[in-house]
Amino acid sequence: MIRGTSGVALLAAALLLGGCVNIGAGGKPPAQLLSLTTKAVETSNLPRIAGVGQPIVIAVPSAPAAIMSNRVAVQDGPVSIAYVKDAVWVEPPVRLFQRLLSETVAAKTGKVVIDPRQFAVTPGIRLTGQIKSFGMDARSGRAVIIYDAVISRDGGKTVEARRFEASEPVAVVEAVPVGIALNAAANRIAEEVAAWVG
């Protein structure tokens, strides 16, 4: 039997609702919505300062249509995709993942990380990418995330590309266990990305 991912520090992966959300016309609201929470901890409350060309911008990644929805995809065959019953993200996972990356990179590097939707500045580092997988692989019984990242430094003078992959075992394919496993996998990738960004 596959052992489930530890829930330590991941309780916030499921946000309980009081029945105020309705998914779809006439549908019942989910018992909980899933989110992603960073494990990285800010070590200082001191302000961060970045000059022109120094901030890091992390863009919302692109993704296939199956991942762009608020549901958790299950790859149950070479060409077939289903969804985990009652598993609904609080917002599209591409935005959750971008926020997790931003928080983790900021905490791990101590650098200024800005959201491209909020600031019109010239970044020193720009991180973009595509999520290839973000859900359950029913064949392996694991939650899988694959992120193809592209980083441009020095205002685009140098460009690097790298693939990041992480997976976690899931004992029972249900909303909360899958959400916890995906949160753990996302944090592993975010920490690797932070080390790469430097």
pTM over 0.85: no
Cα–Cα distance, 162 to 151 (Å, whole number): 8
Higher pLDDT, 196 or 157: 196
pLDDT bracket for residue 5 (50, 70, 90): very low
Question: Which pLDDT band holds residue 27 (cuts at 50, 70, 90)?
Answer: low
Question: For domain 11-37+54-197, which CATH number applies: 3.40.50.10610, 3.40.640.10, 2.60.40.10, 3.60.70.12?
Answer: 3.40.50.10610
Average pLDDT of the chain is: 82
Using CA of residue 124, residue 120, residue 150, residue 102, what is the dihedral sign?
positive
Domain positions in the chain? 11-37+54-197
pLDDT > 90? residue 129: yes
